[in-house]
Amino acid sequence: MEVTSSSGTSSGKATSNAGNWKEYERVLLPPVKDLHKLDVYEDKGGYAALREVLTGKWEPATVADTVKASGLRGRGGASFNTGLKWTFMPPVDDGPRYLCCNGDESEPGTFKDRQLMEYNPHLVFEGILIACYAMSITTCYLYIRGEYADWITHMERELEKAYARGYVGKNIFGTDFSTDIVIHKGAGAYICGEETSLMESLEGKRAYPRIKPPFPAQFGCWGRPTTINNVETLACVPLIISRGADWFAGLGAKTLPGPVLYGISGHVNRPGVYEYPTGMLISDLIYDVCRGMRNDKKLKAVVPGGSSTPPLRADMIDGICMDADSLREAGSMMGTAGMLVMDEDTDMVKWLRRVSHFYHHESCGQCTPCREGTGWLERLVAKIDEGEGNLRDLDLLIDLCSEMEGRTVCALADAAAWPVRYTLDRFRDEFEAKCRPSSVPVTQLVTA
């Protein structure tokens, strides 16, 4: 992990990297009534970007280059440059190639892809189709979280309409480009959102992540070249084509530009999904966008990008923006921009206990450090929470994290370890306060 600071020093900057965000006009979720309906989407210029690309005779490579130039980075958690990822696909041969649109959305604190699918489904389809063209792909699987039953039905209904109007399927806009979109109901586990286990799940197998390399572009679905992108990532693509790479690159934070959906939950007055440019000050999101803390309580902690990203103490967020550089400086990560806000009454040990339970429950069990480690983490945090822990358990927790981080097939083990390591580091007094009074640090025992 790229976190450089665990001490809580903030940069002291007080300016947002999101520019004049109060004047920002939404593009991913614009305030248009019934935008999910195909007629309305068309009226608002929908599918024009796809038309432009296909009938304006853009070369597939030009589309990928444009997306690369825009600086779009994946919104699924890892923030990888999208256009660059597309260029990893090998040259076309006789066999099939696939795109997987990742709508598994299971990380606690993350609920923004659902909004896109509900309110702007055709933007997602249009992004998928343009991505397929850029990579010469003829089948995309849209993998939607199994528990999102209503959204699956909704997407299927809208997809049928897009097929009927000729936007999806054979010879789109009368060109020789044909692409199918297949909606796939997720298998109901957090691990299905990890890109390689998503492909295993699609193939009808148990969702065990694969060892990388080979990467999906070399060996993906059914062993064929495959690219996996998040729903929100692909929804940005038609906007880049219609408004230009420069527009996108100039919006928000320089190194992670564009519009982003901030999913804000917890102890704020108005939790919800808010669209603004990247680079918003965390304090603006809490005190302005979300109308402040519930019951005027004091802020205690912010988890900026989904439950796996390290929590920041209230005194660490001063001047910190929601972008890769600023959050790294503060000691956390952008993740999915699913921000959890906790007030002064929050018991951080209990919070960590809940989070550790989740990762233990969701470990697929394939690798020992994760299968055993997540269980140990949960049990130890529970022991401390119940007043049965001692100070050596705190050291043991950190040792366990070190045995898990970077030693497993996929990043779930890291996602389980980071909240433990950084919650303990930044809220240690709360853990110590719950330890048995008789407990003595090992060093003192040795001296005695």
Ligand X SMILES: Cc1cc2nc3c(=O)[nH]c(=O)nc-3n(C[C@H](O)[C@H](O)[C@H](O)COP(=O)(O)O)c2cc1C
Interface contacts to ligand X, rule CB under 6 A: 74-78, 80, 102, 104-107, 190-191, 193-195, 228-230, 233, 410-412, 415
Span near ligand SF4 by CB under 6 A; candidates 50-58, 156-164, 300-308, 364-372: 364-372
Q: Which two tokens stand for residue 382?
A: 């529970």
Is residue 408 within the footprint of ligand SF4 (CB under 6 A)? yes
- State the nearest-atom distance from the C-beta of 426 to ligand SF4, in Å: 24
State the Cα–Cα distance between residues 361 and 190, nearest whole angstrom.
Answer: 9
State the Cα–Cα distance between residues 301 and 313, nearest whole angstrom.
Answer: 5
Cβ partners under 8 Å of residue 381, min gap 6: 349, 352, 353, 356, 397, 420
Using CB under 6 A as the binding rule, the residues of this chain from 54 to 113 that contact ligand SF4 are: none
- State the nearest-atom distance from the C-beta of 194 to ligand SF4, in Å: 7
Q: Is 282 helix (H, G, I), strand (E, B) or coil?
A: helix
Q: How many residues does the chain have?
A: 448
State the Cα–Cα distance between residues 94 and 110, nearest whole angstrom.
Answer: 39
Q: Which two tokens stand for residue 263?
A: 């999913």
Task: Write the DSSP string, 177-227.
Answer: --BEEEEEE--S-GGGGSHHHHHHHHTTS--PPPPSSSPTTTS-GGGS-EE
Q: Which is nearer to ligand SF4, 195 or 323 (CB)?
A: 195
Span near ligand SF4 by CB under 6 A; candidates 56-64, 140-148, 236-244, 359-367: 359-367
- Of 371, 379, 383, 392, the residue at the interface with ligand SF4 (CB under 6 A) is 371
Is residue 406 within the footprint of ligand SF4 (CB under 6 A)? no
Give the β-pairing of 272-277 and 259-266. antiparallel
Burial class (CB in 10 A: 0-12, 13-18, 19+), 420: buried
The entry of ligand X, ligand SF4, none that residue 409 binds, CB within 5 to 8 Å by partner kind: ligand SF4
Cα–Cα distances (Å) from 173 to 52, 56, 57, 96, 164, in that order, read 10, 11, 12, 22, 13
Site size for ligand SF4, by CB under 6 A? 14
- Of 364, 380, 417, 424, the residue at the interface with ligand SF4 (CB under 6 A) is 364
The entry of ligand X, ligand SF4, none that residue 78 binds, CB within 5 to 8 Å by partner kind: ligand X
State the Cα–Cα distance between residues 371 and 379, nearest whole angstrom.
Answer: 13
- State the nearest-atom distance from the C-beta of 203 to ligand X, in Å: 16
Give which of 263, 267, 280 is closest to 339, Cα–Cα: 263
Give the β-pairing of 226-230 and 98-103. parallel
Give the β-pairing of 312-313 and 299-303. antiparallel
Is residue 400 within the footprint of ligand SF4 (CB under 6 A)? no
Q: Which two tokens stand for residue 402?
A: 């070190």
The 197-226 contact track toward ligand SF4, x by CB under 6 A, reads: ------------x-----------------
Q: Which is nearer to ligand SF4, 44 or 407 (CB)?
A: 407
- State the nearest-atom distance from the C-beta of 415 to ligand SF4, in Å: 9
Contact 408, 400 (CB under 8 A): no
The entry of ligand X, ligand SF4, none that residue 249 binds, CB within 5 to 8 Å by partner kind: none
- State the nearest-atom distance from the C-beta of 412 to ligand SF4, in Å: 4
Name the residue number minimizing CB distance to ligand SF4. 370
* Phi-psi domain of 126 (left: phi exceeds 0; alpha: psi -120 through 50; beta: other): alpha
Strand partners, 259: 277
Is residue 366 within the footprint of ligand SF4 (CB under 6 A)? yes
- Of 132, 221, 413, 420, the residue at the interface with ligand SF4 (CB under 6 A) is 413
Q: Which is nearer to ligand SF4, 346 or 366 (CB)?
A: 366
Is residue 363 within the footprint of ligand SF4 (CB under 6 A)? yes
Give which of 258, 295, 293 is closest to 279, Cα–Cα: 258
Span near ligand SF4 by CB under 6 A; candidates 80-88, 276-284, 316-324, 363-371: 363-371
The entry of ligand X, ligand SF4, none that residue 106 binds, CB within 5 to 8 Å by partner kind: ligand X
- State the nearest-atom distance from the C-beta of 414 to ligand X, in Å: 8
Contact 320, 299 (CB under 8 A): no
Positions touching ligand SF4 (CB under 6 A) are: 191, 209, 363-367, 370-371, 408-410, 412-413
